[in-house]
Homo-oligomer: A and B are copies of this chain.
Amino acid sequence: MSSWYSQKQTDDVVVSTRIRLARNLNGFPFAARMDASAREKVNGLVKKAILESDTPFAKQLRFIAMNDVPENEVYAMVERHIISPDFAENRDGRAIIISQDESICVMIGEEDHIRIQVLLCGLQLEKAYDLANQIDELLSAGLSYAFDEQLGYLTECPTNLGTGMRASVMMHLPACENNGTVAQILEAIGKIGFTVRGIYGEGSKAQGALYQISNQITLGIAEKNAMGNLALIARQIAEKERAAREAIDRTTLEDAVWRAYGTLKYLRKVSSEETAKLISYVSMGVSMGILSIGDKNPMEMLIETQPHMLCRKFGEKQASERDVLRADMIRKWLQS
């Protein structure tokens, strides 16, 4: 049971799929206004509804109070995309319910009372939605959702009103980034109700040519339609990326891929930003059949060498020490 980033990449462009459902309970103020006692009650209600549901499904899940999680592990969770940066910053009285493989994570007391997140490798919108839906059904069976017949699910931020669903795909677009068409794509899809963000969500910059594309419209649209539109957009962008990859002069492409490989294989210190760039080339090279790295998983190395993931493994370290540890890990990985 490995996490999304440790699984073998099944798609040459779409790295991962994420479904997030925002839900709130009747009888409590929105999360930002909840006091400690209200938070405790909501945590208890959600925990009970899911974990005591006596479904086989519930047995894989466990409840974790965020205050029990060591600081580095909290930010390592952000780096693994399990929780949001906001949730990591403000964790008093907050909790998660998480599956062993971390594909399911319910944040309790984030912007909304409940945020159900499912994160899977590759392009798996329907499967992700189905899993999120199972959690949603457990919760709605035992709890009273803030729901309006006209508007749908009520959420703290109006941008989530309606379905409360955000569906995203993380796409690897090195060739479109390289030929400058990424900017055009982003502008075009913005006009039709999609947003693009960097690898670490809202406001974050794209690293390693990884772009998160999400539906923006949650009101007046069925979940299935929103997902269908996203899948369509993702497939179109993937086609553009494939065409852009093929359009690069083959020797130039092979040179860039192999240089990145050679650099990663021998470097002695490296920042996470540069790691992302180098791994991006190697990853593209692998998916285009330019080089083979056996069972080695570039995305796994990218995530595992993030700053807090390193501190979680090696203890608290300065940036300069991390750069050396990161280089050591990558070298051993490629030389093994």
Contacts and interface: CB of A to CB of B under 8 A. Distances in A.
Contact of A251 (B252, B254, B266, B269): B269
Nearest to A258: B266
Interface string A243-266: 000000001101100110111111
Interface string A99-137: 000000000000000000000000000000000000000
Contacts of A266: 258-259, 261-262, 265
A283 to B, nearest CB: 16
A267 to B, nearest CB: 5
Interface in A260-313: 261-270
A170 interface: no
A327 interface: yes
How many copies of this kind of chain does the complex include?
A: 2
Query: Looking at chain A, what size class is its interface with the partner chain?
Result: 10 to 19
19 contacts: A251-B268, A251-B269, A251-B324, A252-B269, A255-B267, A255-B269, A255-B327, A258-B268, A259-B263, A259-B267, A259-B268, A261-B262, A261-B266, A262-B263, A262-B264, A262-B265, A262-B266, A263-B263, A265-B266
A269 to B, nearest CB: 5
A8 B146 CA distance: 80
A258 B267 contact: yes
Nearest to A266: B262
Nearest to A250: B268
Nearest to A324: B251
A218 to B, nearest CB: 47
Contacts of A261: 262, 266
Contacts of A259: 263, 266-268
A325 to B, nearest CB: 11
Nearest to A290: B268
